[in-house]
Amino acid sequence: MKKLLMTGGTGFVGRHLIPVLLDDGWQIEVLTRDADRARRVLPADVTPIETLDSATPPQAIVNLAGENLGDGRWTAARKQEMRDSRLSITRRLVAFIAGSSVKPAVLVSGSAVGYYGARGDEILDESSAANDEFQSKLCADWEAEALTAQDHGVRVCLVRTGVVLGANDGALAQMVTPFKFGLGGRFGSGDQYMPWIHIDDEVGAIRFLLSNESASGPFNLTAPAPVTNRVFTKTLGRVLNRPAIAWIPGPALKLAVGEMARLLLTGQRAVPKALDGAGYSFRYTQLEPALADLLG
C-alpha cells in the first residue's frame, strides 16, 4: 500500500483531502501536536503521530501545517509564530527526508498567493516575483525551505493557495454570517482581487500534483477567473438572496484588525497558468456556480 505523511491534516483543507486520498489507496500518517484530538477529528483509517521518529518512510509528503494568518492581530510575537510554524516544520521534514534511507518521490508543500503581495490588477502567474512585505517574505522563505528537498532527489510542488471556499468552514463560512443579517458588503474600495478556489478543486489539484510525475515547482491554486472584492460580495449576496450594500472603509478595518487588514485590502490577481499547463481540469472555473454549489 502507498504510504503518505501529512502535516496540517486536521485543518480545513487537510480534513477534505484525507478522505479522497484514502479512497485513492493511500495509507496516511498525520503529524500532529495532539494525537488524541486528531483521532477524534480524522477518519479511523488515519494514524496520528506526534514525532517524525514514529513515521513510516512514506512515498509522498503533503505539508499543510501553519498558524492561520487571519487568526488574530499581527503583533511581533504573532508574526514570529506564523513564521516558526511554517519554516520549522518544513525544515524538520527535509531533515527527515535527508535521514531516510528510502526517499519519498514527492513533497507537496503549502504556500499562498500572498507570495506576490499587493499588486493591484496586475495578472500574476507563477513566474511573477515575490513582493517586499511580511506575507510575501514569509511565503518565499517557506518555499525556499521546501525546495531544499530537491537536494535529496525529491520532486517538490509548491501550492500557492488563494481563498479556499468551503460550505461550513474556512473564509466563506465567516463571510456568510454578516450577509444573513443584511450586513454584507465590500472592504475598502472593493477593487482588490480575490483569487478564490472551490475546496473540491483545492483537493483535486493537490491530488493531481501528487500523481503527476512531471509536475514540479510553484503552482497557483486559484480558479482561472479571479474577481474583485466588489464582484465577489455582489455575487455572494445574489446567491444568498441578501443585499450586499454594506461598506467597511479601509481605515475602519485597519483599526479593527491592525496590519492584518492588508490581506483584505490588497489582493492578488493570481491565475493558475502552471496548473493549466500541466493539464489539470477545474471543476469550478466561475464564482457563481461555485458559490451555488457550496451554499445550495
pLDDT, tens digit, for every residue of 188-225?
Answer: 888 999 999 999 999 999 999 999 999 999 999 999 99
Confidence of residue 119 (pLDDT cuts 50, 70, 90): confident
pLDDT at 262 over 80: no
Domain range for 143? 2-165+197-222+270-280
Distances (CA, A) of 277 to 114, 202, 274: 22, 16, 5
Indicate whether 175 pLDDT > 80: yes
Task: Answer yes or no: is 181 within a domain.
Answer: no
Distances (CA, A) of 117 to 25, 221, 223, 264: 38, 16, 18, 11
- pLDDT grade for 77, boundaries at 50, 70 and 90: confident
pLDDT value for 293: 97
- Is 189 part of any domain? no
The count of structural domains within the chain is 1
Mutual orientation of helices 287-295 and 170-180 as an angle, nearest 10°?
Answer: 80
More confident residue, 149 or 79: 149
Bridge partners (DSSP) listed for residue 109: 63, 158
Residue 33: phi, psi to the nearest 5?
-80, -20
Distance CA 69, CA 116 (A): 15
pLDDT at 256 over 90: no
User: What per-residue confidence (pLDDT) applies to 2?
Assistant: 94
Predicted confidence at residue 266, as pLDDT, reads 80
More confident residue, 113 or 243: 113
Report pLDDT for 166.
Answer: 95
pLDDT band (50, 70, 90) for residue 187:
confident
Q: Map grid coordinates 496516511 to a residue.
A: 28
- What pLDDT was estimated at residue 181? 77
**Mean pLDDT in residue range 69-97:** 88
In a domain, 149, yes or no: yes
Cα(53)–Cα(101) distance, integer angstroms: 14
Exposure of 39 in the CB half-sphere (CA atoms within 13 A): 6
Q: Give the CA dihedral 193, 197, 198, 199, nearest 10 degrees.
A: -130
The C-alpha atoms of residue 93 and residue 81 are separated, in whole angstroms, by 18
All three cell numbers of 140, joined, read 518565499
- Cα angle for residues 171, 273, 216 (degrees, 5° grid): 90
Q: Are 24 and 68 in contact (CB under 8 A)?
A: no
- Please indicate, yes or no, if residue 265 is contained in any of the structural domains: no
Q: Is 23 buried (19+), middle (13-18) or exposed (0-12) by CB count in 10 A?
A: exposed
Of residues 264 and 275, the one with the higher pLDDT is 275
Give strand pairing partners of 4. Answer: 28, 60
User: Model pTM greater than 0.85?
Assistant: yes
pLDDT digits (tens, 9 = 90+) for 37-61: 999 999 999 999 999 999 999 999 9
Q: Chain centroid to CA 33: how far?
A: 20
**Does residue 9 lie in a domain region?**
yes
Residue 34: count of CB within 10 angstroms of its CB: 12
Q: Tell me, yes or no, whether 187 lies in a domain.
A: no
Q: Which of 155, 152, 171, 175 is nearest to 163 (CA)?
A: 171
pLDDT at residue 174 in the model? 84
What's the confidence (pLDDT) of residue 7?
97
Structural element, H or E, at residue 243: none
Task: Please indicate, yes or no, if residue 185 is contained in any of the structural domains.
Answer: no
CATH label of the domain that carries residue 118: 3.40.50.720
pLDDT band at 232, cuts 50/70/90? very high
Q: Does 89 fall in a domain? A: yes
